[in-house]
Structures are given as C-alpha cells and as structure tokens.
Chain A
Amino acid sequence: MSVKEQESKSLWNHAWDSLKSDKMTVFSMGIVGFYALIALLSFSGVIVSDWAKEVGDSYGAPSSEHLFGLDIFGRSVVAKTAKATEIAMSVGLITGLFTVVIGVTLGSLAGYFGGKIDEFLVWFYTTVSSIPQIMLLISIAFIAGKGLFTVYLSLGLTSWTGLFRLIRGEFIRHKNREYVQAATAIGGGDTRKIFKHILPNVLHIVIINFSLQFQFAIKSEVILSYLGLGVQGVPSWGTMINDAKLELARGVWWQLGAATAAMMVVVLAFNILGDSLRDALDPKLKGK
C-alpha cells in the first residue's frame, strides 16, 4: 500500500495561505502595490515628470479637468500628489531598510555573543532610547540640514531601537536551541550560525517591524516638513499638508485633502498589513 506523500508546509506557506484568505489583507496588499507602482512610474519619469508645469490659475478650484484643483503656482494637485507618492514610498523604504540593517546587526551581535559586547550594545540602546525620539529626531535633522537625505538619516538613526530589542531577545532564545547546537557539532562557525541558521528563524519579526516602520516614516516626514527640515524642491505630502496653514483660511482645502487622503490610504494599508503579518507569522500572538 502506498502512502500518498504529502509535502509539509513551511511557516511561510502557512502564512501566505492565511494572508490570502483574508480579504482586507489582500486589499491592503493591492493598495501597497498600487502605490509602489505609482512611485516607480514617477521615479522613472513615465508619469508626472511635468508636475511643476503651470496648468491654470493660482488656487484654481477642483474641476473635471483638475480633480483636486491647483496650488498657489497653478500646478495640478493630482500630479503633485503622485510625485509626492514617490517621495513617501522612498522615505518608507529607505528608512525601513536603515532600521533593519542597524537593528538586526546590533541585535544579533548582542544576543548571539553576549558578554561584554552585549553589555556595551545594551548600554548604547538604553542611551539612545532614553532620549525621546522626537527630540533626537529634531536634533539629528537639525544638524544634518534640510532635505530628503536628512529625512532618511534622522528617521533611520532613531527608529532602530525597537527592532534591536526584539532581535536581541530572539537570538538569546535561539542560540542554545538544539538546531544551533547541531550546527556547532558539525563545525558551523559563528557567521554561518548567525546568518544561515538563526536569522531565517527570526526573519518574521523583521518583516512585521519593517511594515510598521514604513508607515511610521511616512507619518514622521510630515512633522519634519512642518519643522522646515523636510524635503525641498519636490512635493511631499508633508509640505503639501504644511502649505494648508495659509490655504485653509482662504477656503483652499484641496491640497490638504489630496495629501491627507493619499497618505491615509497607504498608512492604513500598512497598518492592516502589519497586523495580518503578525497574526500569520507569529503563531504565539494568534488572536491578539
């Protein structure tokens, strides 16, 4: 009698099945994909390369031709919003990667090696997280000067602490497990054990954190723009919202509306995605 061989599913297969079965999650993934597409098209110059062109009167009201009206220089708000999508997605992506690189490197070093290295890194972590993030963010952004690079740098340098703590904890839990001992027994070195064995087992934390970091960065860009430390020369949702300080009193709501709506949809999608990823990838937290 032959037993039908059934391939066992990995954590990732299970997670993917669970993500696929939830309509909200699929919808959120679609939204993120759509934003990514717009960002890519705008980045490569296929769309809205002429966002800076004057297409009508200053503060022209929304019409069938210009769905969200025009800004102070008569530029189309829709085109600006699309161009700003590119900026927002790049801010999310780059600061997310920044956070992952710093958080995972320091976290795994501290958790894996322990001892003096751990003590030093934990001290460093405690020091950085003692200063309220907004203070540190402002300080670094202030010193680095205006511009997009400052947004990446200041957010990246201040947001890694949460991931560090999680990764360090996971490495401490994993490093004495049987599978790591087995790797030691067959002669696996530290690098191999860290990258090949332990890291894939804590990767889900990185992914969840990345998705939440992405939306946090997009939201923080607005605050940096308000402080005058944000993006210069290209439209961003932050500068568009910030412009509304002067516009609202004149009844010009469209720029604020377009930027807020564009931002809300993608941040909401990332929030929902982050929650579903946590449910799908971290079985311990199921149902929370």
Chain B
Amino acid sequence: MDIVSYVTRRLFYVIPVLLGVCFLVFLIFNVVSPDPTISMLGKHATKSQILELRESLGLNKPLWLQYMDTVKSAFTFDFGRSWSTKQEIMEMIKQGAIPSLTVTFPAFILSFFISVSISLFVAFYRGSFLDKGTVFICVALMSISSLVYILVGQWFFAFKLGLFEISGYEEGFPYFIPYVLLPIIIWIILGVGPDVRFYRTIMLDEMYQDYVRTARSKGLSETVIMFKHVLKNTMVSIITYVVLRIPFLILGSLLIESFFGIPGLGGMILKAVNSSDFPVIKAMAVLSAIATIVFNVLTDVLYVVVDPRVKLK
C-alpha cells in the first residue's frame, strides 16, 4: 500500500472517532451535568430568569439538536462565545496559545536534549552504580507530586531567593523571559524522570541487538557504536514518543500556568472550570482530542518514513 492511500484511510477513521469525542463531551456537559444556569445565576434566581438564560444558551433545544451543535462546532472550529467573558472562544484560544508555548516550547526542546544525554550516558555505563543510582533518582523524582515542585520552587527560588519573578507575564519577546524561566525549569524537572527511564529502556533494547555485536566485533569503539549506531536506531522510537507530546505543548500545563499567572490555555481551562464555563471546557476537550488524533496519524506516518522495516497495514 502506498503512503497516500494509507494516510487517507487513517484520516477517514478520524471521523467516527471525532463523532465519538463529541458524543462523550455532549454526554458529560449536556446530559449528565447539573443545570449550569443555577450556578451561573446564583441561588436566588427566579424561574423566569433561569428559563430566559436557558433559552439564550440554547439549552432548551432537543438533545439531538444540542449534539448536532457540538458536532458542528468540532468540524467548523466555531465554538461560539464563552459564557463568562462573552469573548469568541477561538479568539481566546489564539491569545492563550502563545503564552503557553513560550513556556512549553523551550522546555520541550531543552528537556529533550537533557533527557537523551542523560540516558545515553547511563546506558553507556549500564549496570554500574551510576546507572542504578540515576534510575533510582528518576523514580524518586517521579514519586513527588508535581504540585510540590511548583509550590516549593516558587516559594524558595522566586520568593525567598528572589531569583525569578514570583508570578505574572508580559507580552513581547524579551519581556516574557524572566516570567517563564522558573516554569520552564520546573517543567523540565517534571519530565526528566519518566523520559530518562523510557529512553534508557529502549536504548538498552538496542544495545543487545545483533548489529551492535557485529559493530563491536568489527573493532569499532564503544563511543562510535553508541552515537552512530545505537542513538540513530533509538531515535525512531524517541521521535515517535516525542511527537505525541506536541499537542500537549499547546495545551500548556494547567498547574504551572495557574501558579505562575501565565495567561495561557492551561490557566484558561482552570478558570473555565471555576466559573462553570461549559463552552470553553467543551471546546478545549474537542480541540485537544483533534490534535491528539492528528498527531497519532502523523506519528504512524513518521514511523513508516524513518523506519523502512515498518510495513503499512
């Protein structure tokens, strides 16, 4: 099968999945959820006020029409307006994506290089005390709640030592840097544990392959084997693992953003949760699902492109 028909077929499968995502979101927010108008208007709202609000939010339409609205928004990217700020949701998302990316993008690139370097290093000295110690530290780092890193980092490095801005954000290229430094560092620390563990595992997998033995018996040095052979081959798995993370970069980190006052998408989701802003939560759920699906297809395609052994099915 050639790549074009493979991609087309995969993209066709996106449609039923997207309909399913819409259905889940619809089920949660339009069917199961308690009436949002009560929390929006407060306890003392009169019956007519509630009815009026339900009318204007489109909540008294038949359920199947409400589902059609959800589906339509997923395919047209028109999610309407936020209930609390009355802004266009797509506009809010466009505004929020950039601050999110100023944190996650540099953090993503840096943590990639840091984690790959560490795992190359420990895979090279596999079985040694250094290797075991690093793996243990990784697991220990993963055992602490992410909230603790944020709280302690903000309190100690920003508040006590005054090395970074405690919270806030400024737009424009050089101005945002002092605000995003600490969030970036925390993001990297949060990722380094699981990443190193994963990369190390797949590197060790490669190291016991026949071609490594061949290379060694040819008399190649361990360094050459490590960088030219093992790294190159593990890159296939690493790249596919990393690409799947990209949708989450745009989503930002909910906790980090809300703690450091970064006006990104993660913070926006939290605000929407706190103000019962259903359309925003629904839009973010649908959009992040679309991004995940698209990047899943992309990963599979990439896999085929970089690794000729993988056959299309």
Contact = CB atoms under 8 A, between A and B. Distances in A.
Given A127-B20, A132-B247, A241-B145, A264 B140 contact: yes
A271 B142 contact: yes
Interface in A201-252: 215, 219, 222-223, 226-228, 237-238, 241-242, 244-245, 248-249
A138 B273 contact: yes
Interface stretch (B25-33, B44-52, B222-230, B232-240): B25-33
A128 B247 contact: no
A264 B293 contact: no
Contact of B147 (A215, A226, A267): A226
A218 B38 CA distance: 33
B151 interface: yes
Contacts of B281: 135, 138-139, 142
Contacts of A275: 139
Interface in B262-313: 269-270, 273-274, 281, 284-285, 288-289, 292-293, 296
A237 to B, nearest CB: 8
A219 B20 contact: no
B62 interface: no
A182 interface: no
B17 A142 contact: no
A238 B17 CA distance: 34
A135 B148 CA distance: 21
A142 B289 CA distance: 19
Interface residues on A, range: 35 or more
B147 A272 contact: no
B103 interface: no
Contact of B24 (A127, A145, A242): A127
Interface residues of B, number: 45
B201 interface: yes
A79 B140 CA distance: 25
A238 B148 CA distance: 10
B159 interface: yes
Contact of B21 (A131, A145, A228, A244): A131
Interface stretch (B108-116, B209-217, B248-256): B248-256
Contacts of B255: 223, 226
Most buried by B among A135, A245, A271: A135
Interface of A: 123-124, 126-132, 134-136, 138-140, 142-143, 145, 215, 219, 222-223, 226-228, 237-238, 241-242, 244-245, 248-249, 256, 260, 263-265, 267-268, 271-272, 275, 287-288
Given A131-B289, A227-B273, A260-B145, 17 more contacts: A124-B20, A126-B17, A131-B21, A131-B292, A135-B288, A139-B28, A139-B281, A226-B255, A238-B145, A238-B147, A241-B145, A241-B148, A245-B151, A248-B155, A249-B155, A267-B143, A288-B205
The 8 closest A-B pairs by CB, nearest first: A127-B20, A267-B143, A268-B143, A248-B155, A130-B289, A222-B145, A264-B143, A143-B33
